[in-house]
Chains A and B, each alone.
Chain A
Amino acid sequence: TQLLEQSPQFLSIQEGENLTVYCNSSSVFSSLQWYRQEPGEGPVLLVTVVTGGEVKKLKRLTFQFGDARKDSSLHITAAQPGDTGLYLCAGRPSGTYKYIFGTGTRLKVLA
């Protein structure tokens, strides 16, 4: 069974702080996606990374795919209350149409 483990599971920080969320697996993925989910809604895609070592930036969010394509990180600079939500990573094993989702990181940013 392919697993994606995220850490930390919960994070509560003050506005303006920086944070990093990790997504780790022993399996290799052809691509990895990060989603954010608000209460009562479905996940919404933030970014897709496909090349080992790739770094993508989305405003204050920086995403990195590990060189071996087994892990990824999400770094948020100067967090804001609007960043509050559940962050999910999802990896696609090579040769399949399916996605394996991580366990999720619930972030709360306090004003």
Chain B
Amino acid sequence: NAGVTQTPKFQVLKTGQSMTLQCAQDMNHNSMYWYRQDPGMGLRLIYYSASEGTTDKGEVPNGYNVSRLNKREFSLRLESAAPSQTSVYFCASKDVAGEYEQYFGPGTRLTVT
């Protein structure tokens, strides 16, 4: 039982390049989330998926797209990376109802030069 896994762990991009961050969970959770964490900013929600087949914008969705590929996988795509997207990205999953815990992945550290 691996929990929430994220790939890659580190990535350096040049401005304008594209990439997809992968996230998978093996806990049969319905809800999945993508956050970014910047120094002094806590975590900010980019997109979330309450259940398979649905996605919704969070606080900072501009410049990102997501795909809920199936119940296990939720990917985050940067179409044209910008230096402002340099951050640590965390994926999380949660059971659908109530106040169950969000389980976080180990994060992807992205630098855009």
Contact = CB atoms under 8 A, between A and B. Distances in A.
Interface of A: 1, 4, 6, 9, 31, 33, 40-45, 48, 50, 88, 90, 92, 97-104
Given A1-B59, A42-B4, A90-B102, 16 more contacts: A6-B42, A9-B40, A40-B106, A41-B106, A42-B106, A43-B90, A43-B102, A90-B43, A97-B48, A98-B45, A98-B48, A99-B45, A100-B59, A101-B42, A101-B45, A103-B41
12 contacts: A1-B59, A40-B106, A42-B92, A42-B105, A42-B107, A43-B104, A48-B99, A50-B99, A97-B94, A99-B102, A102-B42, A103-B42
Of residues B33, B43, B56, B99, which shows the largest number of chain A Cβ atoms within 10 Å of its Cβ?
B43
Nearest to B100: A48
Nearest to B43: A101
A72 to B, nearest CB: 14
Q: DSSP class of A's interface residues: helix, strand, loop or mixed?
A: loop
Contacts, number: 62
Interface of B: 4, 31, 33, 35, 40-45, 48, 50, 56, 58-59, 90, 92, 94, 99, 101-102, 104-107
Which 7 pairs show the lowest CB-CB distances between chains A and B?
Answer: A42-B104, A101-B43, A45-B101, A101-B42, A97-B50, A103-B42, A48-B99
A98 B58 contact: yes
A101 B94 CA distance: 16
A44 B107 CA distance: 13
A43 B43 contact: yes
A98 B61 CA distance: 13
B105 to A, nearest CB: 6
Contact of A92 (B50, B59, B99): B99
